Amino acid sequence: MIRCAQCGSDNPPGHFNCVKCRAKFDSGRINRDFFPETHERNLFRGKIRLILAFFILISLAMAFCPQHIEQIKASDAENVLVLRKVTMLQQGIAVEPIEFSEKEVSLLFNNIIQESRRIAAASGKNAAIYAARVTIRPGSMTIQASTQIGPYSFGSLTFGPYWLTYKASGAPRQTSEGLRFAASGGSIGYFPFLGGYLTVQRLKMTFRPFKNARNFLGALEIVDMKKGSIKVSLKQ
C-alpha cells in the first residue's frame, strides 16, 4: 500500500493517482516502495558510473600533464662525429664495434624526428613527435618522446597545441626480423598504463617513412650496453 501525502488515504499497488482525492503520486516514491531491489540496483549503477567518470578524468589529467624532457643541445662537431660513426657502420669500414653515447643516440633519434615533423606538416597532419631523449643503462634503455597535437582551427576558434609525453622502458632484442625494442613498461605523461606499448607504436609511425633508417637499425647487433653508452656492430 502507498499512503497519499495529500489526504492520507491508503492506495493499493498499481495506481499512480490517489483513488480518493486523485492527487498524483511521486514516481520516485512508487519505485522505492514497490521496487526496492530495482531502486537499490540503480543507486549502485549510479555509484559505479561516478567512480568510472572520476577515474577517466584523473587518467586524462595524468596523461595530459607532460613530463619535462630536456632538449638535446649539440655542437656542429658532435653532429659531424655521430654521422661519421653511422657512415662507418653503413659502409662496412668499421673494423671494431662502435660505441655511441646516449647523447649521440638521442641526436640520431632527433634527426629522424625533425624530418618526420616536416613530412607531417607538409601533409597537413596535426600530430608529430617534437623531441626525444634516450637514457641507456646496463641491459636496458628508456626512450622519452614529446608529441605536439594540434593546433586545431574551427572557423575563428583555435584549440591547442597540446602536448603529450611518451615514455617506454625496455631493451633492444635480437629477433628473426632484426633488432627490435621490447618495452617492459612506460607511461603517457604521468599515467602509467599502456605507456610502453603506445610509445613503441608512436615511434613505429615516426620511422615508417624512413625505410633506410629502419633497415639500418634492424641490422645492428648489440655488443655491449653500459650506463650512458651502447656499443654496436653491423650484422654481416
Assigned C-alpha cell, 116: 618526420
Q: What is the mean pLDDT of residues 198-221?
A: 87
Q: What is the pLDDT of residues 88-122, one digit of tens each?
A: 998 888 889 999 999 999 999 988 888 888 887 77
212 within domain boundaries = yes
Q: Are residues 158 and 200 in the same domain?
A: yes
Q: What is the mean pLDDT of residues 18-35?
A: 70
* pLDDT at residue number 102: 94
Q: Are residues 202 and 91 in the same domain?
A: yes
pTM beyond 0.85: the answer is: no
Residue 70 has pLDDT above 90, yes or no: no
189 within domain boundaries = yes
Q: What is the mean pLDDT of residues 70-85?
A: 88
Domain that holds residue 132: 76-234
Q: Which one, of 191, 206, 139, 198, lies nearest residue 168 by Cα?
A: 198
Q: Are residues 92 and 198 in the same domain?
A: yes
* Strand ranges, E, within the chain: 2-3, 10-11, 98-101, 127-137, 140-149, 152-154, 157-159, 162-175, 178-188, 220-226, 229-234
69 within domain boundaries = no
